[in-house]
Chain A
Amino acid sequence: MTTPSDLRVGSALAAQTNDTSITQVFRYSAATWNTHRIHYDKEYALKEGYPDVLVQSHLHGAFLTKYCTDWAGRAARLTDLSLRVRRFAVAGETLSIAGTVRAVRAGEERRALVDLDLVETRGSDGETCVEASATVEVPRSWIGEGVLP
């Protein structure tokens, strides 16, 4: 993703996709000591009414975090991320994240705060898996002319 230079309310950020896999879901469970069977035991997942093992809610959060930090780069800082899981995603699903600038606010000194709306959708049917919002502190020079008071 490119560094923004003319951010305004309504600006769309480039989309990012994550191709999940059973291996990734297992490795994420291992790295976080997440022993919930729904992430590695397909038989258990079927018993719970799901078609396969599920992507962890925190892995959804990690994808959203990466989306924000990739976009923001070193000159900016992710300060807040809120997410709500709306639908499950199974391992193997391709998840796409899209972001839009909801608001731009003045920050301290030569900084500004950019509020983002984020949506993560699953590739198999286009349904929303996660709705999220984030705040990123950015250099004021990123903000389009006349946007800030």
Chain B
Amino acid sequence: MAVDDAVRTALEREVGVEHEELLGEISATLTRRYAAAVGDSDPLYHDAAYAKSLGYANVVAPANFLPGVICWSEGAPYDRLREDGTEADTHLPGVPAKGVRVMGGGEEMHFTRPVVAGTVVSRRTVLLDVTPRDSKQGLMLVARYQDEYVDERGQELLRSVRTVLLR
């Protein structure tokens, strides 16, 4: 199976529907691991004492940390993984559980506030639009999702529009 008109119709039904998800508390270990994986040794991301000397309550996450994390739960059971390994139930509203291959195509991010370890984060996601495009492998759908990340006080931390390619 590849994307077809049925997939497109299902996605178009999802356009404009808002989803809200509590992602949880951002742990210092997670943000440090993220920075380590990127290869960023900035002490602001690793050294709590240094971060506190700059007025932060704890280490700060690299700016694109929030959208970089694909899954915030414990992870799906194996029978809920697509063929490409992506989780069928997370963060791509409207995308079928099976038969669709997913690729990242880019992102527009606005960084409103720094994300400090200990912050409790929620995310609102809405599918903005779906555009068909011809590719070498046949029909491809370009879906644009808007994500807004807020802290426990409802203050915006980051908002982004990510482009997802579906084949």
Contact = CB atoms under 8 A, between A and B. Distances in A.
- Chains A and B bind each other: yes
Interface of A: 18, 24, 27-28, 30-38, 41, 44, 48, 56-59, 61-63, 65-66, 69-70, 74, 77-85, 130
Contacts, number: 115
B147 interface: no
A32 B42 contact: no
B64 interface: yes
Interface stretch (B9-17, B33-41, B124-132): B33-41
B102 A80 contact: no
A37 B101 CA distance: 11
A37 B40 contact: no
A74 B163 CA distance: 30
Contacts of A80: 108-111
Given A35-B71, A80-B110, A69 B63 contact: yes
Given A81-B63, A85-B104, A66 B38 contact: yes
A59 B38 contact: yes
Contact of A84 (B37, B67, B101, B105): B105
